[in-house]
């Protein structure tokens, strides 16, 4: 059971990130957090410091999705369909 304080925080995240502005910010954070890649894919030489940094970014973005009660990986298919081919 969520406390009243936690419920309010979840509502606050929803209010912020479900707005038009918030969705744009979340899309940018998603790119920066490399949600659709593993550390090894984004850093083939596997520099451990860079990998740890990227994992931290990814973790922050995933936390936002958790607070929104949304699966960040469910969006992967829609991103692939909606993005133009190069």
Q: Where are the domains of the chain?
A: 8-38+48-71
**Which band of pLDDT confidence, cut at 50, 70 and 90, is reported for residue 75?**
low
- Given a contact cutoff of 8 angstroms between Cβ atoms, the answer to whether 71 and 65 are in contact is yes
Greater model confidence, 56 or 15 = 15
The pTM (predicted TM-score) of the whole model is 0.66
- Given a contact cutoff of 8 angstroms between Cβ atoms, the answer to whether 59 and 17 are in contact is no
pLDDT of residue 23: 92
pLDDT of residue 14: 93
Residue-wise pLDDT for 12-53, tens only, equals 999 999 999 999 998 888 888 777 665 555 556 677 888 788
pLDDT of residue 78: 56
- Given a contact cutoff of 8 angstroms between Cβ atoms, the answer to whether 76 and 36 are in contact is yes
């Amino acid at each position: 059971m969520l406390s009243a304080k936690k419920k309010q925080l979840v509502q606050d995240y929803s209010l912020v990130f479900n707005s038009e502005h918030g969705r744009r910010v979340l899309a940018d954070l998603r790119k920066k957090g490399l949600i659709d890649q593993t550390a090894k894919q984004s850093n083939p030489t596997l520099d451990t410091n860079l990998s740890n940094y990227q994992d931290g970014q990814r973790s922050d973005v995933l936390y936002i999705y958790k607070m929104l009660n949304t699966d960040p990986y469910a969006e992967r298919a829609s991103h692939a369909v909606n993005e133009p081919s190069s």
